[in-house]
Amino acid sequence: MSEQVLPAVAAPPKRRVAIPPGVALAMLWLLAMVTIAVLADVIRPYGITAMDLRSRLQPPVGFGGGWLHPLGTDELGRDVFSRLIESIRMSLMIAFGATIIAAVFGTTMGFLAAHFRGWVEQAVLMLIDFQASMPFLILALSVLAFFGNSLPLFICLMGLYGWERHARISRGLAIAANAQGYAAAVRQLGAKPLRIYLKHVLPNIASTLIVAATLSFPEVVLLESGLSFLGLGVQPPMTSLGNMVGYGREYITRAPWIMLSPCVVIILTTLSVSILGDWLRDRLDPTLT
């Protein structure tokens, strides 16, 4: 059999996949957001607490305002554009940080449950049920009330939001994978559990986890705004997108631009993350391309 001469066939050309325009726009937007977040201190024209009481509630350019404050000013005469830039940095940090923490923690717990089964699984499931049955707002309130509010604590707390979803998904998919051929086959080859889970199970279920993460990203942004609105999230003078929306609400009839500009940023960012996540899921699956 091995002597048989096999005809050489040219390897198929590597497929180049064009990026659809919607995805390209989403990528551009997210890139811009990340750049703004990184360079916030450089591009911000005014300090976020710099008040200019003579030009309070000035409309943006195009609505009767001047170029001095391109997105207008708020009730204390603070530049909305500068505050928006600072808010983008704060909200992105919280949302990305929290989503990553939730995904990593949840997936780890799910894998532990799927691997050990027995009482470990029962304990993880109990934690999941606890998390799912408890309104997160109440949990957040009590934690913030007892431990005070600091930014790292707040990010970690947000990271607790949505971990149970990742844990459930990864547990279910890992159990299915272990029962299916490929994970059992690799186990039979003598692989250690860490290799099975990281090299085989995780890439195979990553598409579902990415979709779950892109769903929880906007929710974290909204949750952060909700908590900030209640005065429990980002504390003034620091600012975040949700914080801006919350305080701008009072001026919705007289100066809608205060809350409209952060709203637009929230909508576009969450939409971009969803579009990008959807596209990534398809790209990560070699059977679909």
Partner 1 sequence: MSLLSLEGVSRVYATRRGLFGKPVPVRAVDHVSFSVAPGRTLGIVGESGCGKSTTGRVALGIERPSEGSVTFEGATMPMPGTPEWRRMRARLQLVHQDPLGAMDRRLTVAAQVAEPLEIHGIGDKAERTDRVAALLRDVGLRADLAERHPHELSGGQRQRAVLARALATDPALLVADEPVSALDVSIQAQVINMLTDLQEARGIAMLFISHDLKVVRQVSHEVAVMYLGRIVEQGDPEAIFADPLHPYSRALVSAIPVPGPRRIERIVLSGDPPNPADRPSGCAFHPRCPLAVSACRAEVPELKAAADGRQVACHLVEAA
Residues binding partner 1 (CB under 8 A): 1-2, 4, 6-12, 180-182, 184-186, 188-192, 195, 200, 203-204, 285-287
Q: How many residues does this entry show for the chain?
A: 289
Closest CB to partner 1 among residues 56, 200: 200
Closest CB to partner 1 among residues 122, 180: 180
Closest CB to partner 1 among residues 31, 198: 198
Instruction: Please state the closest distance from residue 128 (CB atom) to partner 1, in A.
Output: 24
The H or E element containing residue 60 is: none
Instruction: Please state the closest distance from residue 182 (CB atom) to partner 1, in A.
Output: 5
SS (H, E, C) 159-217: HHCCHHHHHHHHHHHHHHHHHCHHHHHHHHCCCCHHHHHHHHHHHHHHHHHHHHHHHHH
HSE, CB side, 13 Å, CA atoms: give it for residue 19. 11
Closest CB to partner 1 among residues 12, 21: 12
Instruction: Please state the closest distance from residue 18 (CB atom) to partner 1, in A.
Output: 21
Instruction: Please state the closest distance from residue 211 (CB atom) to partner 1, in A.
Output: 17
As a whole number of angstroms, the distance between CA 99 and CA 134 comes to 19
Q: Is residue 205 within 8 Å of residue 173, measured between CB atoms?
A: yes
As a whole number of angstroms, the distance between CA 80 and CA 83 comes to 5
Which residue type is seen at 253? T
Instruction: Please state the closest distance from residue 158 (CB atom) to partner 1, in A.
Output: 31
Closest CB to partner 1 among residues 64, 286: 286
